[in-house]
Amino acid sequence: MQLIKDLSEYIEEELCDAEKYADKAMKVKETYPNLAANFLKLSIEEMGHAALLHSDVVALIGDYRKEHGDPPERMLGRYDCIHEKFIEKSNHIKALQAVLKGDMK
């Protein structure tokens, strides 16, 4: 389904932005703590955007199941692969954010 593919691309963009902001916050936290705090906020917001989009994908898959039964195996296989990649990236970003939160107390 093209819409799920599009949403997956948007999720990836949000995660990349969240990681970019967290990485930048790590680099500037010593010299520019206020800027680092803003980068952390942006990173957290991007993760929220990714979570919203993920909820939409889950809802679309649920709607598909109600109307047509289980999605084709090929589609589920692709989704599972992408989903696993997103979970790994999300966990990495959340770990960076946790370090930053601890450092900024």
Question: What is the C-alpha separation between 102 and 85, in angstroms, rounded?
Answer: 26
- Write the burial class of residue 43 (CB in 10 Å: 0-12 exposed, 13-18 middle, 19+ buried): buried
Rounded Cα–Cα distance for residues 61 and 69 (Å) = 10
**Whether pLDDT at 103 is above 90:** no
Nearest-10 Cα torsion for 54, 59, 62, 64: -100
The tens digit of pLDDT for each residue in 22-74 reads: 999 999 999 999 999 999 999 999 999 999 999 999 999 999 999 999 888 88
Token pair 């939409």 is found at 56
Does the predicted TM-score (pTM) go above 0.85? yes
- 21 vs 71 pLDDT, higher one: 21
